[in-house]
Amino acid sequence: MTDHSSNNRPGNTVRYAEGTSVNEAYNHFLGIRDEDRSILKRHYPGLIEDSEEFAEVFYSYLLAYPATAAILERYREQGGEIKSLVRTQLDHLRHFLSGDTGNASATRLAEAGAAHQRFGIEPV
């Protein structure tokens, strides 16, 4: 892969190095290396410990904040269940912390982004 550092200049329309996948470009941009994935694998059990509690606390926080509470209320009105979102968030967290950055992971992240966009969640 050729380093295209100039791609970061304002106004440059090239978003990632030619000949790379979006996922490879994502890893390059974030500086994710094989060593980083090894560290995640080694510490994965500790990172996901109490993850169920984290997911519950996370959604309690989202429900307490007016902007996200409104989005979640729309989700409920359309037949969605918050417990389902908590499970999905937990699955996402576990997968994210696994260090998998392959194409299936990129597809999963794109699907999550599309779902967020459908419900009016701004990417910030």
Q: Give the pLDDT of residue 18.
A: 65
Q: Tell me: the pLDDT tens digits for 69-120?
A: 998 999 899 999 988 888 888 888 888 888 887 778 878 878 888 888 887 7
**Looking at the 3D structure of the chain, how many domains does it have?**
1
Q: Tell me: the pLDDT tens digits for 5-45?
A: 444 434 444 455 566 777 777 778 778 888 988 898 999 99
List the alpha helices (DSSP H) in the chain: 22-30, 34-48, 51-64, 66-77, 82-96, 103-118
Residue 124 inside a domain? The answer is no
Nearest to 96 by CA among 64, 63, 54, 67: 54
Residue 10 inside a domain? The answer is no
Would you say 4 and 14 are in contact if contact means Cβ atoms under 8 Å apart? Answer: yes
Residue 90 inside a domain? The answer is yes
Residue 8 inside a domain? The answer is no
Q: Give the pLDDT of residue 61.
A: 92
Rg (CA), the chain: 17
Q: Tell me: the pLDDT tens digits for 94-106?
A: 888 888 877 788 7
Q: Give the pLDDT of residue 103.
A: 78
- Domain of 50 in residue numbering reads as 19-118
Tell whether the model's pLDDT for residue 3 goes beyond 70: no
Would you say 105 and 23 are in contact if contact means Cβ atoms under 8 Å apart? Answer: yes
Q: Give the pLDDT of residue 123.
A: 67
Q: What is the rounded distance in angstroms from the CA atom of residue 111 to the CA atom of residue 63?
A: 23
Q: Give the pLDDT of residue 108.
A: 82
Residue 1 inside a domain? The answer is no
Give me the CATH number covering residue 91.
1.10.490.10
